[in-house]
Amino acid sequence: MNPRLSVVLLALSLAACGSSDPEGPRPTPDAGTSVPDAGTEDAGVPDAGSPDAGPVDSGTPDAGEPDAGPPLVIPNTLSGYGLFTGSPADGGLVPVEGNVPYTLSTALFSDYAVKSRTLYIPPGKTAHYEPMAALDLPVGTLITKTFAFPADLRKPDQDVRVIETRVLVHQPAGWEAWPYVWNTEQTEATLATGGRSRDVTFIDTDGESRSFKYSVPSKNQCQQCHHLLDDQGAQVMHPIGVKARYLHHNNTYGGVERDQLEYLASLGKLDGLPAPADLPKAPDAFDPQAADLTTRARTYLDINCAHCHNPKGTAGVTSQLFLDIGTTSMFSLGECKRPGSAGSGVGGEFDILPGNHAESILWYRMHTEESGKMMPQIGRTVHHAEGSQLIADWIDSLPAKTCK
Amino acid sequence: MPRLQWTRATSATLLALVGALSLTACSDDDDTTPDSGVKVDAGTTTDAGSDAGTTDAGSDAGSVDTGIPWDGGSAGTFSCEGKAQTTLNFAPGQEEAFQDQVNTLAECTTITLAPGTYTFDNAITIRKNGITLVGAGKGKKGEGTGGADSTVLVFTNAAANSNGLDVVGDRFTVSNLAVWNAKKDAIRVESSTDVVMRGVRTEWAEANKESNGKYGLYPVKSKYVLIEDCEAYNAADAGIYVGQTQYAVVRNSVAKQNVAGIEIENTKYAYVLGNTAQDNTTGLVVFDLPGNPIKGTDIRVKNNIITGNNRNNFASVQSSSSTVSQVPAGTGTFLLASRRVELTGNTWGNNNTVDVAVLSGLAIESDPAQWVAGGLNFASADISIHDNTFQGGSGDNVDNGNTSQSLRPLGAALAALYAYGETQGTLGVEHLLWDGLDPFGHDRAQLNPINICFANNTLPTGTTTAIVDLDLQAAATLAGQGNLPGAWAKTRHYAANKAEFNCSGFSPALTIGDFIQ
């Protein structure tokens, strides 16, 4: 991702966290419940006095068991969560206190959409550090991701149109994903469980105008990426991005540069954090100063592909192609590996033909925009020029050999 | 139909044969050939050693798992009995509401779709158990719009890379509708138990398009699957596909104009009954893929019509790595890396390359390491072909005369061999072709070590030879040296009643289908 693109929504979402507080009372999530009030659609104002959606969480420790309280009643509008004030129309979608904005050092590519992210962990609850997997987030956690397109990628903070906000909800029975689509006035996002299609036009970094149909995934489609197999072989939803290695870098909170993980810990929202020197760190895959080519390419594959292509993802199980950062076998990464069933015309015989990206299926699937051949399966209509170039460079850098 | 004309193959073409057949890695290294430990037997009844051609009458019958006596109904643990069951009704114009509700279904919901045309911009993604989706009828071939008594789901302008129906859920039924122009697979059901597809049509508007969706009806990694009274047209891979599944019935269905009409892949216990597979590149195929951990076995193919499958292979393009993209046009049926298969009561004819081919997995993937996941499942064995009708008109125009060494090497090899064979009086590929590879490296004195039975079949009048053992390894080596007469001499051509093939199946017999009408 072009580093510049991450700026705009970050600016939007961090507005409240700058040194100047927003005007008037700052809404806060209802501290008496395990989740923000879901029962009202009160446009982000505190729900003082209105009844909560369910019994109040007593706040007592759960003795190691997940909170078996009632599930959050999913509101019909994004504002119903009480996670934000303002709207894109009035200059900023501002996270309320406790809804912590964060960025990823390398983000998953989604058609050049600019994204902003927030993490809300309910009062009295704490996430636990995980060295490799996503943070162990308590029931009641809400993760939001807002997708937007500037009119011109070269001016990423101007004429930004916000398309959708996805909310990952950690319910007592597990994670759920809910898509909200913004209205044309940019004043409210409404639940669109079945997903929606939106025409998007922008000018790319080369100055070319691009138009395509952007797909807001349906609730069920979210599972295609957000799943891992449990010990019984059942698909279980998980967050993707909130892994320590992608969070371990600085962000601005209250006008102060803070490491995101340490900031969460300082809020009491994260425990088990090791010493800074022991924290894993994924580099910005597009910053040549940040890491060597292999590390950057592996990081890109890790965040973009490994949620399916890992030993616990059904696509990974089927393909035996493992692209997670923990994979050490070059064969499992695709070198000289034939796909089980690649279909027709995907550029080559092997997932990776070392030294030759043009005949590597891995690169082909990333680069093509042809339906049925491109990867990932959903979430992409156009190809990521910078991403496929990175992978091309990496494959070309591998010592050439003849696979047979 | 033009007969094969003998032409002097160029030495370059002949040299290419060996490489194309990918056999060099296995040809001269006894210690590392797959021979050791992977004699065909591997738990089936075939005796690869001493009694060539005869079944061993149950000596190791106890080791064969013949499955359960499934009657084609629900057999999994999920049931809607005693549970709240609701019905949702939708009509054309309510696609958005339909999509929203599909994503919040309670289990055991029935969705009825009134007649007409439904236009979707994304897949219909179902992730609940006990869902029934029912329309007003599947309409007729070529109809991309619904009528008064048909329901057509149109995906022509849907998001790239999306399927039509995309389902994970036990006890799923879809019936009486058509799926038109899906971007990928028309109906994909994955990791589900008790799946019924009944009276469904999957179709792409344009024939012969490599960019069409790959599969029409696509249950995969599932258990207890019933496909009946369905139709599938113009899929760029398989019209009806059952993969990595246990217990499947495909019956009374029609597959036309696909690359593969009906495909049974890495599946245990499949019953393919009373279907029509015509005008595909290949009509009905059974195979295991390399690298797949599931070992296919116990397949019964009965009373199907598999004629005129001569469509040019429109998935056969450069850099294609799918199995069916390598199949020459005009292949009625091929069995590849498959065991315990019974073909009975079927009709074959007018398939330009061959009616039935029995192939080793090594013919498409010569590296045994690629077959480790399935327990070295490359070998075909225990194939019983009895009481079928071969109408004739087959085997006389391999790959429609449009051979390609690089894209469809087996077809190119066959064409070269039979071009020479015609000068020797053999006018076409026999009805049953065996590549002679399994068990790999076997003693050639054994005429039929993998127990292929060919008995009581009706053949065209005047048939002299009905079976060919290509001895592909030896023939390809000689052909690669430019020695076509020598290559031809390695092939063996038998009359239908050749004793070594005139056997009565294998033991224990298949049970799949015994309880299904």
SS3 string, B4-49, reads CCCCCCCHHHHHHHHHHHCCHHHHCCCCCCCCCCCCCCCCCCCCCC
Whole-number Å distance between alpha carbons of B360 and B380: 6
pLDDT tens-digit map of B126-147 = 999 999 999 999 999 999 999 9
**Distance (Å, whole) CA A49 – CA B83:** 38
The pLDDT value recorded for residue A68 is 57
Mean pLDDT value of segment B22-36: 30
Q: What's the pLDDT band for B27 if we cut at 50, 70, 90?
A: very low
Mean pLDDT across chain A: 84
pLDDT at residue A354 in the model = 97
Is the pLDDT higher at B37 or at B116? B116
Over residues B91-119, mean pLDDT: 97
- Picking from A402, A256, A395, the residue whose alpha carbon sits closest to that of residue A323 is A395
Nearest to B190 by CA among A310, A223, A174: A223
Per-residue buried b or exposed e for A221-256, using 16+ beta carbons within 10 Å of the residue's own CB: bbbbbbbbbeeeeebebbbbbbbbbbbbbebebeee
**Chain B residues within 8 A of A215 when measuring between CB atoms:** 121-122, 159, 162
pLDDT digits (tens, 9 = 90+) for B360-386: 999 888 889 889 989 999 999 999 999
Average pLDDT over residues A385-396: 97
Q: How far apart are CA B135 and CA B124, in angstroms?
A: 14
Query: Nearest-CA residue of chain B relative to A340?
Result: B291
Chain B stretch 126-185, residues whose beta carbon is closer than 8 A to a beta carbon of chain A: 126-127, 157, 159-162, 166, 168, 183-184
Percent of chain A surpassing pLDDT 90: 66
- Give the chain B residue whose CA is nearest to the CA of A197: B121
Confidence label for B156 from pLDDT (cuts 50, 70 and 90): very high
User: What is the tens place of the pLDDT at every residue in B159-175?
Assistant: 888 999 999 999 999 99
Q: B interface mutation test: which of A198, A211, A341, A373 has the most B CBs within 10 A? A: A341
Query: 3-class DSSP state for residue B440?
Result: coil
Please, what is the average pLDDT of chain B? 88
Q: Is the pLDDT of residue B53 over 50?
A: no
pLDDT band, residue A19 (cuts 50/70/90): very low
Distance CA A303, CA A219 (A): 21
Of B56 and A275, the one with more pLDDT: A275
Q: Is 90 exceeded by the pLDDT of residue B35?
A: no
The amino acid at residue A66 is: P
Which residues in chain B are contacts of A343 at CB distance < 8 A? 214, 237, 320-322
Cβ-based contacts of B214 with chain A (< 8 Å): 343-344, 372
Least confident of A55-69, A252-266, B406-420: A55-69
From the list A339, A349, A371, which residue is nearest B161 (CB)?
A371
pLDDT tens track for A156-177: 888 999 999 999 999 999 999 9
Interchain CB contacts (distance < 8 Å): A and B: 128
Q: Do B213 and A372 touch (CB under 8 A)?
A: yes
Report the pLDDT averaged over residues A268-286. Answer: 96
Whether the predicted pLDDT of A4 surpasses 70: no
Contact B80, B108 (CB under 8 A): yes
> C-alpha distances in angstroms, B7 versus B16, B408, B415, B484?
17, 19, 10, 11
Neighbours of B140 (CB within 10 A): 12
Q: Is B276 helix (H, G, I), strand (E, B) or coil?
A: strand
Please tell me if residue A229 touches chain B, with a CB cutoff of 8 Å.
no
Rounded Cα distance between A364 and A373, Å, is: 8
Flag if B315 and A342 touch (Cβ within 8 Å).
no
Task: Find, among B473, B501, B291, the residue nearest to B378 by Cα.
Answer: B291
> Do B232 and B240 form a contact (C-beta atoms < 8 A)?
yes
Pick B322's closest partner by Cβ from A192, A218, A341.
Answer: A341
* Yes or no, beta carbons of B211 and A371 under 8 Å apart: yes
Please indicate if any CB of chain A lies within 8 Å of the CB of B408: no
Cis, peptide link before residue A122, omega less than 30° from 0: no
Q: Give me the residues of B, 207-226, that contact A with CB < 8 A.
A: 210-211, 213-214, 221
B34 pLDDT tier (thresholds 50, 70, 90): very low
pTM here is 0.86
Task: Determine the Cα–Cα distance for residues B133 and B155; give it in Å rounded to an integer.
Answer: 17
Q: What percent of chain B has pLDDT over 70?
A: 88
The secondary structure of chain B in percent helix, strand, coil, rounded to multiples of 5, reads 15, 30, 55
